[in-house]
Structure 1
């Protein structure tokens, strides 16, 4: 009976690794070119406990492995949130000279700010759960919420590409008009000063 339970729990761990952890690792590698050592340490711990379980037929080892699976997923959530936050920051820096209020008739920037605030607050709440030493399950739900919120921000930016390009092209036209107006004003002042002399 215990052997069937161990086999079932072991299969669930492999499934979590294959269907959840590995794709998150791939996402981090694509985003940042690497993935954090903390995740690798959790994976090492998972497989250390799995091997002990096989050698000792000990249910406690499989439960320990399962806890490390949760921690590995938590670490993936944390680092992907950080990566997306960095991407959003870079987006804002890249478009600092663009009047994003022109995008989608002013709706884009307001929604971006709202979504980003929701994501930041969700991430702060998740980080605070670590300080408060909440259960792994509670932390898992909070980090998952933050991960989903940051994904929503990133998807919103991607889906708004056309509106962003519109704002970008019209901001440049507006800047050109401002520069031309300044030059014309300067020439007018110069001509007036010369005429007075």
Structure 2
């Protein structure tokens, strides 16, 4: 067994390793921190990457090494594709959770009134891109074309996430103000009721 010829694929391997470390690993950290999950589809692709790396390293012929190196590249791209897919779902949930979190808060003041129409536009655009990518999975497009569609959907949702993060602090402040205003209103109402009751009691006492 002589795998010395594997060195000729050093650039291809470097590209796959770089994609794993710089692109895929940050997604894994994100998924585990936000959802405490490591998607099984992604795990399978990563396992396949390193299985083919092992096969390439112990290949007995240049052809075997080449075939496995190409499969490493393919599984690396599929792993990144799975990252894009799962990230879109997380971003969708983030959007839904944001508006649940601030339900009842008047968000029309955010970003000088621009936030609500802009974030709705962002969401509609991202959702349309994601739907287009999902629909394309059952068509006859190439893997590269599908990758580009999901990459576009991911970029759209990433822009949406950034928009939500940019107003999070201001939205929390508006929620605090609204809660405090509601509490003051309840206190004022209670004080008013007490005052009315006291007045009625005083009137009754005066008439006795």
The normalised TM-score by structure 2 is 0.78
Q: Does 1:109 align with 2:116?
A: yes
Q: Does 1:147 align with 2:148?
A: no
Aligned length: 187
Q: Does 1:16 align with 2:7?
A: no
Change (3 A) 1:176 1:102: farther
Report the counterpart of residue 78 of structure 2 in structure 1. Answer: 71
Report the counterpart of residue 201 of structure 2 in structure 1. Answer: none
Residue 68 of structure 2 is aligned with which of 61, 66, 82?
A: 61
Task: Name whichever of 6-15 and 80-89 sits farther off.
Answer: 6-15
- In 2, Cα distance between equivalents of 1:173 and 1:15: 51
Task: Please give the residue correspondences for 1:37-186 in structure 2 after superposition, counting only pairs within 5 Å.
Answer: 37-56=40-59, 57=62, 58=64, 59-169=66-176, 171-172=178-179
Asked if 2 retains the 8 angstrom alpha-carbon contact of 1:49 and 1:61, the reply is: yes
Change (3 A) 1:69 1:97: same
Unaligned stretches of 5+ in structure 2? 197-208
Superposition RMSD on alpha carbons, in Å? Answer: 2.6
Higher Rg:
2
Unaligned stretches of 5+ in structure 1? 189-197
- In 2, Cα distance between equivalents of 1:162 and 1:47: 43
Asked if 2 retains the 8 angstrom alpha-carbon contact of 1:100 and 1:168, the reply is: no
- In 1, Cα distance between equivalents of 2:23 and 2:138: 26
The structural deviation recorded for 1:138 is 0.9
Render the CA deviation track for 1:106-125: whole Å, top value 9, x for unaligned: 21111111111111111111
The normalised TM-score by structure 1 is 0.82
